[in-house]
Chains A and B, each alone.
Chain A
Amino acid sequence: MLVKLSINGEKHEADVEPRLLLVHMIREVLRLTGTHIGCDTTHCGACTILMDGRPVKSCTMFAVQAQGKALMTVEGLEQNDKLHPLQEGFMAEHGLQCGYCTPGMLMTSYAFLKKYPSPTEDDIRRAISGNLCRCTGYVNIVKSVQYAAAKLRG
């Protein structure tokens, strides 16, 4: 089945089997490997992408469901060779160790800060509660999001 969609503002199309998961289309057909597959069971959020602005788990959607949708992946954060404040924050505050969960953390936080530019620590913790990190203990991830929030508010 022919699926047409846009990712990070760029149009793509591919002929795929209906059972192909969206994350597999993104990684293996379109070769955008920034989006990770972690648990593959809807728990960890490493595969989080934005669909029409909302963060969703791309391992729990079929590619055919993204027909005509506007997607954004971690590759879309950097603009004109400049890191997004969230990426900067994760570097500055050591928001990652192994980095596996990071693409998902970034995408969830990106959508969250668009909606809630001045979050409390509790708000941030709730927002990322569908993204698991087994390294950091979350403390530095929260700090990274706070860094980005402050920078985005200007």
Chain B
Amino acid sequence: MIPAAFEYHAPSTIGEATALLARLGEDAKVLSGGQSLIPLMKLRLASPAHVVDINGIAGLTYIREADGFLRIGGLTRESELEESELIQTRYPLLHDTAKVIADPLVRNLATVGGNLAHGDPANDHPATMLALGAEVVAVGTKGERRLPIASFFTGPFVTSLKPDEILVEIRIPTPAARSGGAYLKLERKVGDFATAAVAAQLTLGASGACDQVGIGLTNVGLTPIKATKAEAALKGKAPDEATIKRAAELAAEASEPAADLRGSVEYKKDLVRVLTARALRKALERAGR
């Protein structure tokens, strides 16, 4: 399959890239890992007149903790996240997620920033970042903005990024003691989008109650979903089995899946319930309950 013709731009600085994007407007698409954009272009579901390849911009690939945040550079590849010792030891939810995105070959090119900026409700990192309470850093011609993830996904394949902005960093609050998370995804085969998936992150307080809870849902709505009622059912409470079950039911109620080849609406909603309960139990185990 041959994509429609386009003009290719390869800026080497963020300033050059944002100036280009500002000039080209809606006719341009940012090329990061390309593992979503290029398939769309090959199918001619996307035919941008201009492609702005940001892979030549130095300094956007890193994973480090600083000033109370885990900072992930926008061009960090999924495989780098998967292989990072820091992620493996301190951020099990992120590690769970990176391992099940597409397949190992795609993960060598796919970027964490692109997984978010694409705004696809079937992508895996949106739910993870919703559960982790992340924020994204965007840079445009007018400077830098910090965008909370909870209001980042504004519609199907639409985010709050402006046309001239590039997602340069993801910031995740470093976990307090007794924190844990898990990502559970049901997929028909490696590389398929989730039938449904659930990200759960929590922190236990001194009394054993949940001080902080985040729950995100993948591919069960027009946008990634933050299951706020399910979170509220757990917050401040001891996470006993009855409370977990109640939260799982509320997460299922928050989901708005569409029937497709992967399953019916009823099936997917029940899957959200089951996966939420399992993800919460695993997160609790990792938090060292």
Residues of A that sit less than 8 Å from B by CB: 1, 17-19, 21, 40-43, 45, 48, 54-57, 60-62, 64-65, 67, 108, 126-127, 129-131
Contact = CB atoms under 8 A, between A and B. Distances in A.
Contacts of B6: 18-19
Nearest to A57: B105
Interface stretch (B31-39, B221-229, B236-244, B263-271): B31-39
B261 interface: no
Interface residues of B, number: 30
A56 B34 CA distance: 11
A127 B53 contact: no
A17 B8 CA distance: 9
A130 B51 contact: no
A148 B55 CA distance: 34
Contacts of B206: none
A40 B104 contact: no
B20 to A, nearest CB: 15
A71 B108 CA distance: 14
B39 A42 contact: yes
Interface in B28-71: 31, 34-35, 38-39, 41-43, 51, 53, 55
Q: What are the 7 tightest A-B residue pairs by CB atom distance, in nearest-first order? A: A130-B103, A18-B8, A130-B105, A129-B190, A54-B108, A19-B3, A60-B38
Contacts of A40: 1, 42
B2 interface: yes
Contacts of B2: 19, 21
Contacts of B35: 42, 60
B191 interface: yes
